[in-house]
Chain A
């Protein structure tokens, strides 16, 4: 395939991406674009980022062959990229470290963030504590309820958590509030966006910081099996863990890229969060991408058992990868994800995040139909400790 060098200078991935923001934000974004353009090439910045990833996050995270589970499924071998073993328990810290280092170089002592599952909020609060910055996290009040432990974690780390009561009280509303804060306090505030969405340069920058995931896999998998995997599978809400593992593989021929969206109670029910599978292009939160919207262009309320996938949009680069055919996007329901969650607990002794369980469920779906020597690499993007409450309620158990 031809060289892949997206986005263009204005943040476009084909017709997607871009910078659709109010004039009140454009100066802040110009400043950020200039700073990122400068520091992404700066050897000192890159070295500090790598050092933090190694000593603070604990990278490289291992790739693990889930032999027992693969054997029980009876087909392709499933390998797990263990982002759940990172400090704070998910891939999100890769990006927050990068953005916090950038914020410091830009002289911004205050960081803000939006969060859905709470993982990005925890990762932001963590780096804010690590670097001595003030941190405010916006979180939909519905998510605050679903993820009480992560809320407490953020508070322990010294962050202020602001519950957002507007709209569906989930991630998209938290994002709106965080943007509002940024507009008002741009002089001293850096907005750490947690996914590969938002206006340019965020989709590119968040992808770049997370691409360490795929970069590591590219040498780890051959080290274990002598070749690259046949397919790479990752869950997609906004899509940061998926872009992180997909991006280095885009130019690698013969590696299928499969993104797994939250089909909630089923695509046919309308209660889901599968914007690529069931949405159409539009403009939201500063970029053009696939959106779940009604015929008037109003955003539809989404549903997923996992707060981290409960978002009506998706990163613009995924929209492009879908249209170009380089990646394929499928849906996995709440029930399918829950089954994969329990199976990984039982057969591998690993408690996965409900988000990551969507990717696992798709692997479990296709593995039995594949030859035993085929290799599926699944991004185990986070650990499931935060989901105890949700899963136990589903099983009728209350703590």
Chain B
């Protein structure tokens, strides 16, 4: 499964659903292997809305962010509890779509989230940028989603869903992911 297959799946999905936003997340190398120009053009054409390139900090990807702006693609950047004020300003300047605050100092799939830590950091982000803030890393169930949903604009659940897909036997991945997300959605809407 390469990046081209991913874009094909996006096109397929877009033919059935024109509204649900699609954000791709990954590393720089597959994008550079395809060619940054080609990737941005094809992703925008396929109907991708935003791209998170985990190992592209703003200062290393000026060409990429300029291309994204040209094609109407939102480059989404990460911010962490350790991000300095200068860093937050830099990201607020070039990022679009939303700010992605990663709540843990761990990586995706780690332990559970520390809500008070998130609450303490978000005001700084809000002061620097009017973009909505999504919070992720360590949101694994309805309780943690509700807690974060009270202070953030979006909760991001990634590794937990991948876990579900990976451990699914045969064709029941969709069902398992639905089972996982249904109570979370219900709790957030309650």
Interface string of B83-120 (1 = CB under 8 A from A): 11001000100000000001001110010000000000
Q: Which of B33, B54, B107 contacts A296 (CB 8 A)?
A: B33
A77 at the interface (CB under 8 A from B): no
A297 at the interface (CB under 8 A from B): yes
- Whether A184 lies near B107 (C-beta < 8 A) is yes
- Whether A20 lies near B3 (C-beta < 8 A) is no
- Whether B29 lies near A291 (C-beta < 8 A) is yes
- Whether A297 lies near B33 (C-beta < 8 A) is yes
Bound together, the chains give a CA A296 to CA B8 distance in angstroms of 14
Kindly list chain B residues whose C-beta atoms are within 8 Å of the C-beta of A26. Answer: 57, 80, 82-83, 87
Interface residues of B in 47-87 (CB under 8 A from A): 54-57, 59-60, 77-80, 82-84, 87
Per DSSP, chain A at the interface is mixed
- Whether B78 lies near A23 (C-beta < 8 A) is yes
Query: What is the CB-to-nearest-CB distance from B122 to chain A, in angstroms, rounded to a whole number?
Result: 15
Kindly list chain A residues whose C-beta atoms are within 8 Å of the C-beta of B56. Answer: 20
Kindly list chain A residues whose C-beta atoms are within 8 Å of the C-beta of B78. Answer: 22-24
- Whether B29 lies near A297 (C-beta < 8 A) is yes
Interface string of B13-30 (1 = CB under 8 A from A): 000000000000001111
- Whether B83 lies near A283 (C-beta < 8 A) is no
Q: How large is the interface on A (under 10, 10 to 19, 20 to 34, 35 or more residues)?
A: 20 to 34
- Whether A23 lies near B83 (C-beta < 8 A) is yes
Query: What is the CB-to-nearest-CB distance from A139 to chain B, in angstroms, rounded to a whole number?
Result: 19
Bound together, the chains give a CA A282 to CA B2 distance in angstroms of 16
Q: Which of A19, A183, A282, A295 contacts B57 (CB 8 A)?
A: A19
- Whether B57 lies near A21 (C-beta < 8 A) is yes
Bound together, the chains give a CA A23 to CA B110 distance in angstroms of 16
Nearest A residue to B56, CB-CB? A20
- Whether B30 lies near A296 (C-beta < 8 A) is yes
Query: What is the CB-to-nearest-CB distance from B101 to chain A, in angstroms, rounded to a whole number?
Result: 10
Query: What is the CB-to-nearest-CB distance from A63 to chain B, in angstroms, rounded to a whole number?
Result: 40
Nearest A residue to B82, CB-CB? A27
B31 at the interface (CB under 8 A from A): yes
Kindly list chain A residues whose C-beta atoms are within 8 Å of the C-beta of B126. Answer: none
- The 3 A-B residue pairs whose C-beta atoms are closest, nearest first, are A297-B33, A296-B2, A297-B30
Residues of chain A whose beta carbon lies under 8 Å from any beta carbon of chain B: 10, 18-24, 26-28, 30, 180, 183-184, 186, 281-284, 286, 291, 293, 295-299
26 contacts between A and B (CB under 8 A): A10-B59, A19-B57, A19-B60, A20-B55, A22-B107, A23-B77, A23-B80, A24-B102, A24-B107, A26-B57, A26-B87, A27-B82, A27-B83, A27-B87, A184-B107, A184-B110, A282-B32, A283-B28, A283-B55, A286-B55, A291-B29, A293-B29, A296-B2, A297-B29, A298-B29, A299-B29
